[in-house]
Amino acid sequence: MLNELLFKFATWLDGFQSSTNLHEALYAYGWVEGTHVLTLTLFLGMLLAIDLRLLGVAFKELPASTLIERLDRPMMIGFVVMLISGALLFYAIPVRSTQSIWFRVKVVFIIAAGVNALLIRNMTRASDMSWDNDPVPPKRIRVGAALSLGLWILVVASGRNMAYDWWDCHKEMPYFMYWAAGCVNEMAAFE
Amino acid sequence: MTANTLGKVAAVCSIVIIIGWGVYWGVQVKDTMCLLEASTAEEMPECMDDL
Amino acid sequence: MDIVFIFEWLDASWLSDLARTSAGLFSMVQAVHILSMIMLCGMLILGDLRMLNVVLTGVPSDVILQNTKKWIYIGLVGIILSGIYESSAIAMKLATNSFFWAKMAGLAMGIVFMLSVRSAVYSRAPEVIASTGPKSDAVDAWVVKLVALANLFIWFSVAANGRWIGFS
């Protein structure tokens, strides 16, 4: 049922002229995609610095809170640009994106990374940052930071794989894959 | 090297890079965009005269 | 200087065969290339934004710069190795691609600039930027910022050219 809903939504978006224009224009899509990839260096670059500190592997002379608080703004600026450019990329090719198993996996990982970030934030607040000046933070924080890096690596890899058509709907796949990718027409025609 | 000399060398290098590389790269991007346009357009775009 | 023979060699190598055969492995190497870029450029950006006095102001700059060094080198190694692997799959096409050459020129410029001018100037940044205590022999603040901008520009062009290779 969710697959049907998502497919309807994507098809509705696909109907807009601006969606087609964005996809087919000579440069527009390229600029948006280029912005999306390059802004990664700002967004995930700042996150990398924070996570390396939380892992106790770099910037050990600085209090962890300094990096977390002071790098938050550039990181969030990067994140907003990623969201906007990502939304535009989705809007340009809504049906294929919705039915891309890699896009779905990417969204799941992004949500997981967000939840992980919230958990880390709660942990730091609960602990009153008593470990702030310790070169190596407590184990729970380090696990959270490692998870953060791991999840974002998976986000980047999934995003990269979206370009490949290994599991596109037009390919012959097991029913489970059609369901996972939301290939509603192929699911209906399976028998 | 004194700070004064280093400052001058660094400033010159930086300006040459920003302006020189900027212009070179800008022209390259412009020409490529022109070629892209020409490959998909029905008539030759005006930019082809500047290539 | 005719270096096309390097690309011809690469094109006929076992590396090229491997790169062209397994799409799954290729995409993983591409992901490594992007992640290396995040590490390399991210750490460079952190240092440059610090020296522009835009982030982490007041935090001693030598702490930031010292800590980013190791990750810059790791990112550089990762990006070069993954880049060679990716290049081997389309070696002959790249040999005549102007954006590829622009990217390589930018990369060479970036590495040399980073190791020479950027490193020297940042280590002699004035107190108002560096926050490391009064210095007797410091360069002017505007020079430090100009160097930061030049570095950001070079590496931006390397990354952007990387994307343009795909479009040309």
More confident residue, C13 or A127: C13
In angstroms, rounded to a whole number, what is the distance separating the alpha carbons of residues A131 and B7? 41
- What is the torsion angle, in degrees rounded to the nearest 10, for the CA atoms of residue A46, residue A49, residue A55 and residue A58? 180
Q: Is C143 on the interface with A (CB under 8 A)?
A: no
Which residues on chain A are in Cβ contact (under 8 Å) with C35?
153, 156
In angstroms, rounded to a whole number, what is the distance separating the alpha carbons of residues C123 and B3? 11
Put simply, the chain B residues between 1 and 51 with a CB less than 8 A from any chain A CB are 33, 36-37, 40
ipTM: 0.93
CB contact under 8 A, A41 and C23: no
Helix pair angle (A28-54, C23-51), 10° resolution? 70
Q: What's the confidence (pLDDT) of residue A100?
A: 95
Q: What's the confidence (pLDDT) of residue B33?
A: 83
pLDDT at C27 over 80: yes
**Number of helices and strands (H, E) in chain C?**
9, 0
Q: How far is A191 from chain C (nearest CA, A)?
A: 30
Q: What's the confidence (pLDDT) of residue A26?
A: 78
Contact C157, C102 (CB under 8 A): yes
pTM, full prediction = 0.93
Which residues on chain A are in Cβ contact (under 8 Å) with C54?
74
Q: What mean pLDDT is reported for chain C? A: 93
Q: What's the confidence (pLDDT) of residue C11?
A: 87
Tens-binned pLDDT, residue by residue, of chain A (191 aa): 899 999 999 999 999 999 999 998 878 898 999 999 999 999 999 999 999 999 999 999 999 999 999 999 999 999 999 999 999 999 999 999 999 999 999 999 999 999 999 999 998 888 888 899 999 999 999 999 999 999 999 999 999 999 998 899 999 889 999 999 999 999 888 76
Q: How far is B40 from chain A (nearest CA, A)?
A: 9
pLDDT tens digit sequence for C83-142: 999 999 888 889 888 899 999 999 999 999 999 999 999 999 999 999 988 888 899 999
* Banded pLDDT at C168 (limits 50, 70, 90): low
Q: How far is C117 from chain A (nearest CA, A)?
A: 23
Three-point CA angle C123, C103, C150, nearest 5°: 30
In angstroms, rounded to a whole number, what is the distance separating the alpha carbons of residues A41 and C35? 9
